Amino acid sequence: MDKMRVAVFASGSGTNLQAIIDAEIQTIQIVLVFTNNPKAYAIERAKNHNIPVEVIDHKNYQTREEYEKHIIEVLDPYKLDLIVLAGFMRILSPVLVRAYKNKIVNIHPALLPSFPGINSARQALEYGVKYTGVTVHFVDEGVDTGPIILQSIVEIEDKDTEESLLRKIHKVEHRIYPKAIELISSADIEVIGRRVIKKY
């Protein structure tokens, strides 16, 4: 079976990118790291593993749609099967989502549909829940509303601060994101409505 051609989008340090690289998933080839941030450390991580990098700064575009149209033009030659958002700090518009329908995945630091959007760990602490977690999901045209691929639980202890909770969440992210990508690339799942079903 041909390996799935994957692009990883990152805006910052790229720790989830590194976790995916380190997992050495046999069913994928990371053919591109894309960033909107010319100073992202993810660029160095990509170079360290001889992965091509594309940098397109969103600040140079008037609208999100114009920006994403250019992204699509740049991505086209890479013949991508999957886009993995790994700390990409931009909300995607329908332009990119429709161009890669059911081919974009994201990781969110909460058990969706609870605590969508930003500052999810803070939201969980302020609400007083005893458990939060991590969700890997397909991206649709909403914010953190796409079909859920994998989830994992993180216990919140009384002593937890936002920083300590985020550390625990990040450890789980680094474990389950490669697992979710492997599931997708092994053709072991299918999307039926909102449900992502494992094939047996």
Residue tagged 């649709």 (tokens): 140
DSSP the chain: -PPEEEEEE-SSS-HHHHHHHHHT-TTEEEEEEEES-TT-THHHHHHHTT--EEE--GGG-SSHHHHHHHHHHHHGGG--SEEEESS--SPPPHHHHHHTTT-EEEEESS-TTSS-SS-HHHHHHHHT-SEEEEEEEE--SSSS-SPEEEEEEEEPPTT--HHHHHHHHHHHHHHHHHHHHHHHHTT-EEEETTEEEE--
Residue 137 β-bridge partners = 106, 148
Q: Check if 58 is active-site.
A: no
Catalytic residue among 49, 70, 108, 170: 108
Do residues 108 and 61 touch, judged by C-beta distance below 8 A?
no
Q: What residues act catalytically? A: 108
